[in-house]
A and B are shown apart, each in its own frame.
Chain A
């Protein structure tokens, strides 16, 4: 009887330890910055401002999420790195790029974690107040167990990879525009 109680107690403690074994951390902007396209982008000689909505904050006991601020920073850094616009201004720019994070589909658990993401982008000319480009972009990224042992970190890496791929596609699409 004593042995059964001891085993139950240990199982409960191990289960609790496993469940609380790591705190979720949000996706970082650095991990979401897209690499510049291999081909030269069509440069727009005007500035742009960036606005992001639809993101979520990460609670330490929940799953890793992508916040509006970190996605906006990654988008800003990616645009700057690509040289797509003359500069990214906080406000009052000629163009405004709005991104709505419409879907972040995450697994609950798994060795390989795949995150599927969908973002709606709209680029507006603030002088004419007309939308000059809009596109719904889907992306996904699988973080394998070899990338990170802890599930919470693997999910963060999958979030960042999906966001990075999404931003990469957005920049490639905007590079083809003639503004």
Chain B
């Protein structure tokens, strides 16, 4: 029975500790170096303020960024940022996946996207997830 217990625990641990991944891609001819001003749209279901974390990270990267509930910014910007955050519970709640899209401020077309997935054992803080995702997009 102990052998069965060890086997079960090992299998469950293996399944819950998949590898962390990150990746990003850009639309053909997309030039992110031209972008200076950003507006981050809050996801209606997000009550954790991820939009503020994204805007703050963009500001710390040297861009001008604001955030809000409205789907479009009050003043014209170079790019509009959207995101999807996914959360799981394992002892505590943690962000397992974050997707960020950078849209052209005029046409709305997606210029670039990035995603980071971190299972429980490789979890990061929301700030860390935002930093990593924006990092792969603007690499």
Q: Which residues of A contact B (CB under 8 A)?
A: 2, 5-6, 8-13, 15-17, 19-20, 51, 53-54, 56, 61-62, 98, 100, 102-103, 105, 108, 118, 120, 122, 134, 136
Tell me the B96-139 residues at the A interface (CB within 8 Å).
Answer: 96-97, 99, 101, 103, 107-110, 113
B interface residue count range (under 10 / 10 to 19 / 20 to 34 / 35 or more): 20 to 34
The stretch of B6-14, B48-56, B71-79 that contacts the partner chain: B6-14
Please tell me if B62 contacts chain A, counting CB pairs below 8 Å.
no
Please tell me if B35 contacts chain A, counting CB pairs below 8 Å.
no
> What is the CA–CA distance of A2 and B5 in the complex, to the nearest angstrom?
11
Least Cβ distance of B83 to chain A in Å?
10
B27:A120 contact, CB within 8 angstroms: yes
Taken residue by residue from 24 to 58, chain B's Cβ proximity to chain A (1 for < 8 Å, 0 otherwise) reads as: 01011000000000000000000000000000000
B27:A100 contact, CB within 8 angstroms: yes
A9:B101 contact, CB within 8 angstroms: no
Can you name the residue of chain A whose Cβ is closest to the Cβ of B82? A103
Q: Could you jot down 15 A-B contacts, CB within 8 Å? A: A12-B9, A13-B7, A20-B11, A53-B28, A61-B18, A100-B25, A100-B28, A102-B109, A103-B84, A108-B96, A108-B97, A118-B110, A134-B107, A134-B109, A136-B108
- Secondary structure at the B interface, as helix, strand, loop or mixed, is mixed
A13:B4 contact, CB within 8 angstroms: yes
Q: Which residues of B contact A9 (CB under 8 A)?
A: 1, 4-5, 8
- Known contacts A16-B15, A120-B110, A136-B108; A51/B28 CB under 8 A: yes
A13:B107 contact, CB within 8 angstroms: no
Please tell me if B70 contacts chain A, counting CB pairs below 8 Å.
no
> What is the CA–CA distance of A116 and B88 in the complex, to the nearest angstrom?
20
Please tell me if B92 contacts chain A, counting CB pairs below 8 Å.
no
Contact of B5 among A8, A53, A100, A120 (CB under 8 A): A8
Contact of A12 among B5, B96, B99, B107 (CB under 8 A): B5
A5:B99 contact, CB within 8 angstroms: no
- Known contacts A9-B4, A16-B11; A136/B25 CB under 8 A: no
Q: Which residues of B contact A134 (CB under 8 A)?
A: 107, 109
Q: Which residues of B contact A2 (CB under 8 A)?
A: 1
Known A-B contacts: A54-B113, A108-B97. Give 6 more (CB < 8 A): A11-B8, A15-B15, A16-B12, A54-B25, A98-B27, A136-B103
B28:A103 contact, CB within 8 angstroms: no
Please tell me if B60 contacts chain A, counting CB pairs below 8 Å.
no
Contact of A102 among B7, B12, B97, B113 (CB under 8 A): B113
Q: Which residues of A contact B101 (CB under 8 A)?
A: 102-103, 118
- Known contacts A6-B1, A9-B1, A61-B18; A136/B8 CB under 8 A: no
